[in-house]
Chains A and B, each alone.
Chain A
Amino acid sequence: MTQDKTILLVEDNPQDEMLTLRALKKANVVNRIDVVRDGQQALDYLFRQGEFAQREGPDLPMVVLLDISLPRLSGLEVLERLREDPRTELLPIVILTSSDETQDRLRSYKSGANSFVRKPVEFAEFAETVARLGVYWVATNAPSVSG
């Protein structure tokens, strides 16, 4: 299984998507960023199934930025499915959410999230957070499986 330096963003809010992409661009993260808009799409993308059966590119992204409140399957359900599957059990997954509910954070970590990041309301802070994330996961972190 090959792993490219792609980032997968799972986000149903188009405004958040735009702002996230913009923040990553501003932080000079030039990697390819694929976007899916609900939980089922995320699973289909990662397992190359359904509408993504013929997907081009590497098997797995370098990191998945996963929102919690998603249509169809929630982010937490997606996380649990991914961790159950041997193909994706080690895939770096960052939970990116508006919520700072303790219950969400606990469940995320228990389900095997690598990181839990709250999306700040304030743009400057948000941009900085996203930028730090992108830089960290793309440039700093050593992947479990080298491509």
Chain B
Amino acid sequence: MTDNRMLVDARRGALRIAWIYALFATFWILLSDKILLLFIDDPTLLVRTSMVKGWAFVLVTAALLYFLVSRLLNALTVAHERERDLQAQQIRTLRVFQTIWEGSDEAVFAKDLKGCYTLVNKKTAEFVGKTRDELIGRDDSALFPPEEAATLVEIDRKIRLDKSTIVSEEQLSMPNGTRFMLTTKGPLLDEHGRVTGTFGIARDITVLKQNEAALKAAYDALQEQKTQLKLFIEHAPAALAMLDRNLDHMFASQRWMDIYGVSHEDMSGPNHYDIFPELPEEWRRVHQRALAGEVIRSDGDCFERADGRRQWVRWEVRPWHAVDGTVGGIVIFSEDITAQHQAEEEVRSLNAHLEQRVLERTAELHAANRELDAFAYAVSHDLRAPLRAMDGFAHALTEDYGDRLDGEARVFLDQISIASKKMGELIEGILTLSRSTRGALRREPIDISGLALRVLSEMARLHPGNRVKVEVAPELTVDGDARMVEILMTNLLDNAWKYSSKTESPLIRVDAAEVAGRPGICIEDNGAGFDMAYAQRLFVPFQRLHRQTEFPGTGIGLATVQRIVHRHGGEIVAEGVPGNGARFCFTLSAAGDHYDTESEDS
């Protein structure tokens, strides 16, 4: 193009030289002879002068031509040099540009009007995973899936139409996965402003997008946590407030607001000391200590309220830490435990009272027991002597003066003896009853089977006339006081023996059974039995269900048995059918004692 212009310039210069020559020559021809004729009349001189004028014309025109041609050549040379400099400058600029776009981290490319790539930098080829040669002449449909290509084509079309530059985010499928590109695209124009194609600069912002997404997720999570925390604090069933370093409120529970009479509006942001202006210095110091990192708490502080009521408060003030480890503020927790405290006080006072009562009752019981012992002692000593005298003198009378007494008198004397003997037995019974449960209860495992067999064989020895069938289950045991259990078993077996003695084939059975849900022992006979209607009276001292003439007795035995069972914390139940035997079952385990079924059964 420059060469052309230079050629045009050269032609134009030559033409101008020709024109100037023609004009000069024309004027010379037209005017030189007339000028000569004005001054010279002599024809000879005129001829000679004309010759000189001819030579002058040659000289002048030669000089003029020289001047014009050399000026033109100068101008052309300067122009040419300027052109060359310009070209070199342009080449250098182009090289800089090339270095920039080739070294760029962004894809830089140009497309023609059909959307085919005409220029791509190294990065573009890298992004799409093709060589430069593979790219040149191809369009987007050859590089990307149809929808993506369609989008790109549409963008290019819009650019060409509007001649505008568009910045867009494109999501493109690349060999290394889906990438997000931030692309600036614009039209390529020629010197006449006509669109010749499009250019584009694209930056891979996938990592940025990912970071952005992660950041957003983190932010969302944080928001959610914050909401949860707020909710959690708000509905905590305790007075709870979270404050920042300046003691401005961040969150507070509903309970807090209720207790301190603060509304929701008051709670967003205001300073603790604005809400509680009369807060004593002591509390302000606690806050400062917490801000310094200390946890301060009290399990029960008593506050005098304005109306004089005493309020017990459990509270805690602790720092919360920011991400960088510094104290971000404090959390205040407080709980009104007045009701609880009062309840505890009541329990304490009740307990103290109860302990006092127990001590008193124990002392009373000890006194009563001592009295009872003294009474029993007196009974054993002092009631017996008169009885002995009555019986003794009745006998003495019979022995010494019997011959002088008639039959009826002797019967009367016999009655005195019988009565005194009977009373002796009653006294004996009372003493047995009172002594049966005296002293400490020492529990130990007792072989009930062995004990029953021993007692029964003794009875068989004492009453050889009775043929009693005995069935004692093996390995029966109870945990009880050996002395008391012996009295208990002796009484029950004695009863069984006595009341079955008149049966045709007496049977006494000793077996294990459950009593009131606890392991126990049953003693059963097939003797006289009793009417269940009177079962309650069986265990009352001196109460008897049989006439003396049928089965003699004092009515103390079962009362003693029951006392022993109760002394162990156990239970005793009686079952009977008149004429068809009786069954006494007892347990010595106190209610609530651990009852290991397996070990009992084994």
Contact = CB atoms under 8 A, between A and B. Distances in A.
B388 interface: yes
B384 interface: yes
A69 B384 CA distance: 12
A121 B380 contact: no
B388 A22 contact: no
A16 B391 contact: no
Contact of A121 (B377, B382, B424): B424
Nearest to B423: A121
Interface string A116-147: 00011111101100000000000000000000
B381 A122 contact: no
B365 interface: no
B384 A119 contact: yes
A34 interface: no
Nearest to B424: A121
A79 to B, nearest CB: 17
Interface in A18-65: 19, 22
A124 B395 contact: yes
Given A69-B381, A100-B380, A122 B389 contact: no
Interface size bucket, B side? 20 to 34
A122 B424 contact: yes
A123 B384 contact: no
Contact of A120 (B377, B388, B396, B423): B388
Nearest to A26: B399
B76 interface: no
Contacts of A119: 384-385, 388
A15 B380 contact: no
B235 interface: no
Contacts of B423: 121
Contact of B396 (A19, A99, A101, A122): A19
A123 B392 CA distance: 5
A15 B392 CA distance: 9
A97 B382 CA distance: 10
A44 B421 CA distance: 37
B589 interface: no
A123 B424 contact: no
A73 to B, nearest CB: 16
A2 interface: no
B393 interface: yes
Given A119-B384, A121-B384, A22 B396 contact: yes
B377 A123 contact: no
B449 interface: no
Given A13-B389, A15-B385, 4 more contacts: A68-B381, A69-B381, A121-B421, A127-B395
The 9 residue pairs across chains A and B that have the minimum distance between CB atoms: A121-B424, A15-B389, A123-B392, A123-B395, A19-B392, A98-B384, A123-B391, A121-B387, A99-B380
Interface of A: 13, 15-16, 19, 22, 68-69, 97-101, 119-124, 126-127
27 contacts: A13-B385, A15-B385, A15-B389, A15-B392, A16-B388, A16-B389, A19-B388, A19-B389, A19-B392, A19-B393, A68-B381, A69-B382, A97-B381, A98-B382, A98-B388, A99-B381, A101-B380, A121-B387, A121-B391, A121-B424, A122-B391, A122-B420, A123-B392, A123-B394, A123-B396, A124-B395, A126-B391
